[in-house]
């Protein structure tokens, strides 16, 4: 089975373990089986609105194992990034949650309540209560020369009713008003993954996520194996057209597939064979012998397209046909 090749799972949360307050079907059970396989587990989240203790409690309520020490979030990473770059006791304008404010204070910095206090830096993280006035204060501070850190730049966040604007959308609004660009603390930067693997003493971790531009890109940058799971943001077509640095090693429908054998991929002439599916590329078009509804067909298509376009730097939308 796939999971037997790894000694740890570094899992995203939104879109992988839960959507809003609710568990994704089968996810808690799949994560609960890891300990019995001798596989460590940590959670890597870009959501900066809640403390590790609160996140871990939520995960346990859903039926999955979690402790505060196994939750690695972008709020702490953002505060660490600030502390490395500005002097102690510097004033920081926080656009985000109460926990993000606590992170800043715990690292020896002080809180500014508005741009009129001439803060040395602005740190921005997701919180559902952030409003226009908060974004305006951030813009005023940045236009006055403050340093800017964003905990993350996820453009969307999965919710029970569907996708909603994420921190990246709010960061973009501030950037549009200032022409400034923030330093990014969380995914897709590799630090959170590297710190988690080090704490778990894992030498062969598997990064699992639903977003190519954060989870998979960050895991790839950290040098770890990556698996995209199709329970959140990105779908098979997005995976197929991903630029080279956002391509996962594994394509999974659900977390339960960690406990299945992953199909062997082979090159046969001009075609890629994956399980009972075949795919080839000719004149920029992908032809697949297999069903569109079969994930193995998409795996074959991805490998064929990626083999033909190994160094793509932009997202592509190739024409594809399936012959069942």
From the candidates 7, 14, 215, 234, which is the catalytic residue?
A: 14
Q: 315 - beta bridge partners? A: none
From the candidates 12, 127, 134, 210, which is the catalytic residue?
A: 12
Among 199, 19, 11, 186, CA closest to 100 = 186
Whether residue 14 lies in the annotated active site:
yes
- 107/195 Cα distance (integer angstroms): 18
Residue 242 CA neighbour count, 13 Å, CB half: 25
- 112/266 Cα distance (integer angstroms): 58
Q: Are 49 and 125 in contact (CB under 8 A)?
A: yes
Buried b (16+ CB within 10 A) or exposed e, 291-307: eeebbbbbbbbbbbbbe
Among 213, 204, 232, 245, CA closest to 2 = 204
Whether residue 134 lies in the annotated active site:
no
Cis peptide before 191 (omega within 30 of 0): no
Among 214, 208, 97, CA closest to 154 = 214
Q: Are 121 and 92 in contact (CB under 8 A)?
A: yes
Residue 8: its H or E element: strand 8-11
**Helix/strand/coil percentages in the chain, nearest 5:** 40, 25, 35
User: What does each C-alpha distance from 147 to 121, 181, 244, 262, 290 come to in angstroms?
Assistant: 4, 10, 31, 46, 52
Active site residues: 12, 14
């Amino acid at each position: 089975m796939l999971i037997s090749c790894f000694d740890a799972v570094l899992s995203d949360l939104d879109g992988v373990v839960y959507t809003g307050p609710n568990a994704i079907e089968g996810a808690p059970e799949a994560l609960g089986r890891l300990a019995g396989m001798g596989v460590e587990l940590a959670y890597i989240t870009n959501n900066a609105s809640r403390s590790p203790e609160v996140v871990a409690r939520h995960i346990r309520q859903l039926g999955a194992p979690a402790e505060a020490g196994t939750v690695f979030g972008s709020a702490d990473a953002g505060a660490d990034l600030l502390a490395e770059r500005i002097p102690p006791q510097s004033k920081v304008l926080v656009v985000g949650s109460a926990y993000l404010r606590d992170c800043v204070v715990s690292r020896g910095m002080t809180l500014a309540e508005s741009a009129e206090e001439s803060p040395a830096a602005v740190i921005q993280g997701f919180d559902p209560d952030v409003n226009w006035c908060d974004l305006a204060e951030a813009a005023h501070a940045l236009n006055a020369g403050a340093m800017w850190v964003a905990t993350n730049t996820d453009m969307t966040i999965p919710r029970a009713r569907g996708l909603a604007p994420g921190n990246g959308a709010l960061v973009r609004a501030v950037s549009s008003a200032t022409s400034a660009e923030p330093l990014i603390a969380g995914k897709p930067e590799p630090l959170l993954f590297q710190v988690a693997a080090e704490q778990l003493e894992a030498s062969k971790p598997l990064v699992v996520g639903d977003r190519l531009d954060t989870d998979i890109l960050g895991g790839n940058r950290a040098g770890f194996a990556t698996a995209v799971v199709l329970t959140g943001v990105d779908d098979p077509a997005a995976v197929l057209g991903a630029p080279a640095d956002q391509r996962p090693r594994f394509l999974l429908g659900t977390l339960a597939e960690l406990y299945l054998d992953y199909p062997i991929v082979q090159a046969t002439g001009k075609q890629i064979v994956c399980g009972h599916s075949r795919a080839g590329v000719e004149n920029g078009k992908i032809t697949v012998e297999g069903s569109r509804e079969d994930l193995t067909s998409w795996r074959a298509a991805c490998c064929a397209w990626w083999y033909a376009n190994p160094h793509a730097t932009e997202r592509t939308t190739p024409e594809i046909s399936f012959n069942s």
